[in-house]
Amino acid sequence: MQRLYRKRIVLGVGGGIAAYKSAELVRRLRDQGAEVRVVMTQGGREFITPLTLQALSGHPVHLDLLDPAAEAAMGHIELARWADLVLIAPATADVMARLAQGVANDLLTTLVLATDAQVALAPAMNQAMWRDPATQANAELLRGRGLRFFGPAAGSQACGDVGPGRMLEAEELAQRAADCFQFLSLTGRHVLITAGPTQENIDPVRYITNHSSGKMGFALAEAAAEAGARVTLVTGPVHLPTPDRVSRVDVVSARDMLAACEAAMPADLLIAAAAVADYRPEVVAAQKLKKDPTKGDGLLLQLVRNPDILATLAQRADRPFSVGFAAETENLLEYASRKLKDKNLDLIVANDVANPSIGFNSEENAITVIDRELHETAFAQTSKGKIARQLIAFIADRLNQH
């Protein structure tokens, strides 16, 4: 089985003797189905040629931060966004020190700062360098920030010493890279995600809508695709680019959204992150409404209930594992748990949209997930991209136990 099928791996190559093993590692990662892009440090280039890694990865090797050509095509930000995993092998003492300090003086260290993806280091160095308190303190700091360490192994070293500091073999590193995705695994699953607001027409030029930006739903779609799912994203009107590997269906009204979701069924997992209008105007005026002086200063708009998309899909015989969102401005957890029961959901994600630093239109979010046993799991405030990855990992875990 290709355990890294369609996974995107940035392989960072530092300036150590073990860089010769990176060539083999590119092969092993590709054998597992991964797409690999190589970034080399200045030091890395002294030990193995970019040409070798270009030939093995099938793509030009990225060398410079300040490269106008690379910036236009795929500079540090593009690579940071592209990656599902950044694996640095060999990770030299110098690369570790620079990462620990947040130094961003070359392409590799800059993209590590810029990425939301998982980062793993395969240290490779002389045993005394590895044991040195400075290196150990850096490793501790980086582990504390969530970077993973693959190795090092102990044994005989190129310099003649014996001890810890050997880089793991390529085969083992490829397996460890695959392990990074095992808990996220939605491979083979169809995931249906709704996002954004809906628009409910009043007349040909006016509509009722809400402040949803769609950012959370789009981040979830991206994270689900990274986790190997086939993703259908049904979205109301938003100004967001379609995440890679996601199939997008644009809709306007709540009724359109329900129809698009029904057309996309069956799905294994439904995540309803859209802010769907509960009501729509009963009658959509055929012509633009004019001010009517005979009716005084008011205008009475009669509204009717929209279909409940989530409840409708969660009640089907082939119902997917159903996850709802409760965006509330008060009594958050109480309203959210009521919604979980009323709509027959498996999980509900509660977020407090009264807090301007999270929720609608903001870049960050903080959420609490409630399950059927009313057990609450809180996710601390961070970027919507990071929250999305954590949430997808959590949901995938529950789905896989289901």
Shortest Å distance, C-beta 71 to ligand FMN: 21
Residue 55 vs 158, nearer CB to ligand FMN? 158
Q: Using the rule CB under 6 A, which residue among 12, 14, 196, 324 binds ligand FMN?
A: 14
Q: State yes or no: residue 93 binds ligand FMN (CB under 6 A).
A: yes
Please give the single-letter amino acid code of residue 64.
D
Q: CB count, 10 Å around CB of 254? A: 24
Report the alpha-carbon distance of residue 352 to residue 327 in Å, rounded: 6
Shortest Å distance, C-beta 13 to ligand FMN: 8
Number of residues that bind ligand FMN (CB under 6 A): 16
Q: State yes or no: residue 152 binds ligand FMN (CB under 6 A).
A: no
Choose, from 69, 128, 158, 159, the residue flagged as catalytic: 159
Q: Three-state DSSP class for 49?
A: coil
Residue 89 vs 270, nearer CB to ligand FMN? 89
Q: State yes or no: residue 124 binds ligand FMN (CB under 6 A).
A: yes
Q: State yes or no: residue 129 binds ligand FMN (CB under 6 A).
A: yes
Active site residue 180: no
Site string for ligand FMN, 50-89 (x = CB under 6 A): ----------------------------------------
Q: CB count, 10 Å around CB of 109? A: 22
CB 377 within 8 A of CB 355: no
CB burial readout 311-326, b (16+ within 10 A) else e: bebbeeeebbbbbbbb
Shortest Å distance, C-beta 330 to ligand FMN: 52
Shortest Å distance, C-beta 141 to ligand FMN: 17
Report the alpha-carbon distance of residue 339 to residue 335 in Å, rounded: 6
Q: Using the rule CB under 6 A, which residue among 22, 32, 57, 92 binds ligand FMN?
A: 92
Q: State yes or no: residue 217 binds ligand FMN (CB under 6 A).
A: no
Report the alpha-carbon distance of residue 234 to residue 258 in Å, rounded: 9
Residues 34-53 that bind ligand FMN (CB under 6 A): 41-44
Q: Strand 246-250 relative to strand 230-235: parallel, antiparallel, unpaired?
A: parallel
Q: What is the DSSP string of 330-341?
A: SSHHHHHHHHHH
Report the alpha-carbon distance of residue 261 to residue 177 in Å, rounded: 34
Burial, 259: exposed, middle or buried (Cβ in 10 Å; 0-12, 13-18, 19+)? middle
Q: Strand 190-195 relative to strand 230-235: parallel, antiparallel, unpaired?
A: parallel
List residues forming the annotated binding site.
278, 288, 307-310, 325, 339, 343
Shortest Å distance, C-beta 364 to ligand FMN: 32
Question: Which residues belong to the active site?
Answer: 159
Chain residues that interact with ligand FMN, rule: CB under 6 A:
14-18, 41-44, 92-95, 124-125, 129
